[in-house]
């Protein structure tokens, strides 16, 4: 076990000095790898846990047992477990659709047998009975959507271990279907979320990283977050940009977060998202506290942190009071009485901005509880109030931007809020989102979906039948209140006649039903041989 730890530390030293980092003129270390470069070793939570607790505590006696299982396919996303059913081909495949400018576009495909299972799954979901999904998984143990949906059911029933295990099984099933040239680490492989077959991979990765973060593996969760973003960085269908800053801070990857802000701000306007507006200066503040850095780096980090936190407070004043409230900090009299950060700041903000700020405060407030962070924040809050009182033009300009923007959130933000299950943000969702059913296996599907196959129409009775008609049909299968459908198109002229015919049929059906009801006589007491039961 000690040898294992030595090997791990050697590998880390080699990776840190392999020529991929270079000194810039400003004295800050720059990484020449792509921003969304994913490392295989960082996808394994055991590696992170070994760094915290040592190999002996994490591995225990697992290693000898793993050698006994030779038939298991080696995968990067999850390690298959002895308790899982034996894997056999499910009917999912991955195809290379296109290659443009060094970027490869892939898609998952469902073969005919998998499509049939998918139709059964949709029937099981509509039945509203989780036992039907369990039965389906007994026959098809690696059906991805069933695994994801049942995982949600287990999570609601507080069975976190089973919920996590089902998500890992879904990831294993999808990874076994990868195309030979599909790469998790290159950052140049894309999947289109508009295709329903691809959505399960995005959702399984997201659910997996949420479990990893709760399990205390933020570095591994950050790597999965980078992977999701690399699959579709332009559209970001699950809006992981609202999460990646939090994971970077939790994993203490401050340099990654500041680098992302520098490289993406010009074309993605990251500073217009409250989470980046506040988290990036916080990252610079933490960098300014690292004594091993040169004095030049420390002073640069302090300056950037001061400038950016002031901009964030001016642009998003509604964040401060809820943040202090979550941190159980009482603001001083000047801040509490000033209208700029007061209740009006929350009431006057557009609804879409309210969702973003609620999400950020609910998710990230624990990172601001450090007394040193609070003291630094207090200094700049007072500086911002001085600028407000001096009628700095930047304050008015920011207020105008707030009113013009954030009128309605794009669909991917709503999808992110639903998946995150942050109660502060969920409460701020608009009625058009909360009033529609949301399925765990496909929350808020894109409006421009690319459908490759459709579910066959079920041979149901016409849906426009009345409740009374359906009731009588359940008693008398041949009963039809509506009679023959009219083909002549002259509906208005025959409406009264149809109604009369319908009423007559109903009365006839009731007479028929009443005539067929037979009441059984109770047994007579003078029958000594009777056992007291009715026929």
Q: Kindly write down the DSSP assignment for every residue of 383-437, as one continuous string.
A: HHHHHHHTT-HHHHHHHHHHHHS-SS--HHHHHHHHHHT-HHHHTT--HHHHTS-
Tens digit of pLDDT for each residue in 86-96?
A: 998 899 999 99
pLDDT bracket for residue 23 (50, 70, 90): very low
Is the pLDDT confidence value at 400 over 80? yes
Topology of domain 34-47+76-237, CATH? 1.25.40
User: Regarding predicted confidence, which is higher, 230 or 485?
Assistant: 230
Among 151-165, 207-221, 315-329, 435-449, the range scoring the smallest mean pLDDT is: 435-449
402, pLDDT greater than 60: yes
The mean-pLDDT minimum among 30-34, 275-279, 305-309, 418-422 falls in: 30-34
Residue 62 has pLDDT above 70, yes or no: no
Of all residues in the chain, what percent carry a pLDDT higher than 90? 64
Q: How confident is the model at residue 64 (pLDDT cuts 50, 70, 90)?
A: very low
DSSP H/E element including 303:
helix 295-315
pTM: 0.80
What is the reported pLDDT for 488? Answer: 47
115: confidence class by pLDDT, cuts 50, 70, 90: very high
Among candidates 159, 155, 120, which has minimal Cα distance to 138? 120
Calpha distance 164→157 (Å, rounded): 13
Do the beta carbons of residue 44 and residue 52 sit within 8 Å? no
Residue 134 has pLDDT above 70, yes or no: yes
pLDDT, tens digit (0-9, with 9 covering 90-100), for 168-197: 999 999 999 999 999 999 899 999 999 999
Query: Are the CB atoms for 465 and 473 separated by under 8 Å?
Result: yes
Q: Domain extents for the chain? A: 34-47+76-237, 239-435
- The whole-number pLDDT of residue 244 equals 98
Contact by Cβ (8 Å): 211, 127 = no
Work out the average pLDDT over 443-466. Answer: 78
Residue pLDDT, tens place only, 2-17:
555 555 565 555 444 4
CB 315 within 8 A of CB 402: yes
pLDDT at 18: 43
Model confidence at 204, in pLDDT bands (50, 70, 90)?
very high
Please name which of 414, 449, 405 lies closest in space to residue 435, comparing C-alpha atoms.
Answer: 414
pLDDT at 25 over 50: no
Q: Does pLDDT of 441 surpass 60?
A: yes
234-243, 289-298, 408-417, 449-458: the lowest-pLDDT one: 449-458
In angstroms, how far apart are the furthest CA atoms of the chain?
112
pLDDT of residue 465: 55
Q: Which residue has the higher pLDDT, 525 or 143?
A: 143
Percent of the chain residues past pLDDT 70, beyond the cut: 77
Summarised one tens digit per residue, pLDDT across range 332-350 is 999 999 999 988 888 888 9
Mean pLDDT, rounded, for 256-279: 96
Q: 3-state DSSP call for residue 157? A: coil
Q: What does residue 422 show for φ and ψ, rounded to 5 degrees?
A: -85, 115
Burial of 84: CB neighbours in 10 Å, binned 0-12, 13-18, 19+? middle
| 141: pLDDT strictly greater than 50 | yes
Average pLDDT over residues 229-234: 96
Degrees to nearest 5, angle at CA 159 with 154 and 164: 75
Q: Where do we find the tokens 């508009």?
A: 194
Q: If we measure between CA atoms, which residue out of 82, 96, 288, 303 comes closest to residue 179?
A: 96
**Residue 72 pLDDT > 90:** no
Residues in the chain: 535
pLDDT band at 167 (very low <50, low <70, confident <90, very high): very high
What pLDDT does residue 92 have? 97
Q: What is the pLDDT of residues 464-482, one digit of tens each?
A: 556 655 555 555 555 555 5
Who wins on pLDDT, 458 or 500?
Answer: 458
Cα atoms in the Cβ-side hemisphere of radius 13 Å centred on 111? 9
520 three-class SS: coil
More confident residue, 302 or 435: 302
Measured at the alpha carbon of residue 283, what is the angle toward residues 279 and 286, in degrees to the nearest 5? Answer: 135
pLDDT for res 31 = 64
Band (pLDDT 50/70/90 cuts) for residue 422 is confident
Predicted confidence (pLDDT) at residue 511 exceeds the cutoff of 70: no
Half-sphere exposure of 119 (CA within 13 A, CB side): 12
């Amino acid at each position: 076990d000690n040898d294992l730890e030595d090997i791990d530390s050697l590998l880390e030293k080699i990776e840190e000095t392999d020529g991929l980092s270079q000194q810039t003129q400003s004295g800050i270390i720059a990484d020449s790898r792509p921003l969304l470069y994913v490392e295989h070793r960082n996808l394994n939570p055991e590696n992170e846990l070994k760094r915290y607790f040592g190999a002996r505590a994490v591995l225990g006696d697992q290693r000898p047992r793993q050698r006994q299982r030779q038939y298991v396919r080696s995968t990067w996303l999850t390690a298959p477990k002895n308790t899982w059913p034996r894997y056999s081909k499910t009917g999912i495949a991955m195809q290379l659709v296109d290659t443009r400018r060094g970027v490869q576009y892939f898609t998952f495909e469902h073969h005919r047998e998998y499509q049939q299972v998918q139709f059964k799954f949709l029937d099981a979901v509509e039945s509203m009975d989780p036992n039907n999904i369990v039965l389906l998984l007994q026959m098809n143990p690696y059906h991805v959507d069933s695994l994801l949906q049942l995982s949600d059911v287990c999570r609601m029933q507080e069975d976190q271990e089973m919920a996590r295990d089902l998500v890992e099984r879904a990831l294993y099933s999808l990874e076994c279907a990868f195309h030979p040239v599909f790469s998790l680490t290159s950052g140049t492989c894309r999947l289109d979320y508009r295709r329903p077959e691809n959505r399960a991979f995005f959702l399984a990765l997201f659910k997996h990283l949420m479990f990893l973060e709760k399990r205390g593996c933020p570095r591994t969760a950050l790597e999965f977050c980078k992977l999701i973003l690399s699959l579709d960085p332009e559209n970001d269908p699950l809006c992981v940009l609202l999460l990646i800053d939090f994971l970077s801070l939790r994993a203490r990857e401050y340099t990654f977060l500041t680098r992302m802000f520098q490289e993406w701000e010009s074309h993605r306007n990251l500073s217009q998202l409250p989470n980046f507006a506040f988290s990036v200066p916080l990252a610079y503040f933490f960098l300014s506290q690292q004594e091993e850095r040169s004095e030049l780096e420390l002073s640069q980090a302090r300056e950037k942190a001061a400038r950016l936190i002031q901009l964030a407070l001016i642009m998003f004043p509604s964040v401060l009071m809820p943040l202090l409230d979550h941190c159980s900090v009482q603001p001083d009299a000047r801040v509490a009485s000033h209208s700029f950060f007061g209740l009006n700041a929350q009431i006057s903000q557009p609804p879409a901005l309210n969702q973003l700020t609620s999400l950020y405060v609910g998710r990230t407030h624990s990172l601001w509880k450090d007394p040193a962070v609070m003291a630094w924040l207090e200094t700049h809050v007072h500086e911002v109030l001085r600028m407000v009182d001096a009628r700095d033009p930047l304050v008015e300009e920011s207020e105008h931007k707030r009113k013009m923007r954030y009128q309605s959130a794009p669909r991917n933000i709503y999808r992110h809020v639903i998946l995150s299950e942050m109660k502060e943000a969920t409460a701020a969702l608009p009625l058009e989102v909360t009033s529609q059913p949301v399925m765990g296996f496909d929350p808020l599907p894109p409006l421009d979906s690319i459908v490759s196959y459709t579910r066959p129409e079920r041979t149901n009775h016409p849906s426009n039948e009345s409740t009374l008609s359906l009731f009588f049909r359940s008693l008398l299968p041949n009963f039809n209140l509506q009679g023959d459908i009219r083909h002549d198109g002259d509906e208005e002229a025959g409406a009264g006649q149809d109604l009369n015919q319908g009423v007559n049929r109903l009365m006839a059906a009731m007479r028929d039903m009443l005539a067929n009801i037979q009441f059984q006589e109770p047994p007579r007491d003078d029958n000594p041989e009777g056992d007291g039961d009715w026929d």
